[in-house]
Each structure stands twice: as C-alpha cells, then as structure tokens.
Amino acid sequence: MAPIEWLNGLMEQRDGFFRLLEEAGGLPAAAWRLARARCQTWEVPTDVPSRGDVVAAARMIARRVGTTVPASAVLTAECEAMGLLVV
C-alpha cells in the first residue's frame, strides 16, 4: 500500500490511531511509522524521518488517543534502541 493511501486510511478510521499504537507496540514505534509515511509523501521523499518529524507524529497520535508524549530525546532514543533510524 502506498504511504498516502495508508495515511488516508489511518485518518479515516475511527480507531486508526489506537490500532497503530497497538500494532506498533507503543508510541515511539507508532510515531516513527507515522513520521516515515509522511516523509515518503513529500516532493523529495525520504525513508528516514527527522527527530522533529517523529516528535510531531507522536504529538498527533497522543492527541488522538489521549496520552502523553515523552521528551524528544527519550522518544528518539527509544526509536534508535529498536533499530528505527532517526536523523
């Protein structure tokens, strides 16, 4: 599935962000997946999101599911500990 289709589906589904959190296994991985998909839709696509992209994605998810976002350094460190690259 193309990233734009995945993003549209996520936004359209009532429980999309809850499912993303569950499937990813937590906020850091979910935020990274969301950030990566968003980066892949840019005019010059990239597969590696920036720290800012991941934090913005985490905030979006948190707003939708009613949770908190850890500090950006913690969020980034958790992504990197899972082998998810962040620039």
Q: What are the extents of the domains in the chain?
A: 3-81
Give the pLDDT of the chain (87 residues) as one tens digit per residue.
Answer: 788 999 999 999 999 999 999 999 999 999 999 999 999 999 899 999 999 999 999 999 999 999 999 999 999 999 999 999 999
Nearest to 15 by CA among 83, 59, 66, 84: 66
Phi-psi region of 69 (alpha: psi -120 to 50; beta: other; left: phi over 0): beta
The pTM assigned to this predicted structure is 0.93
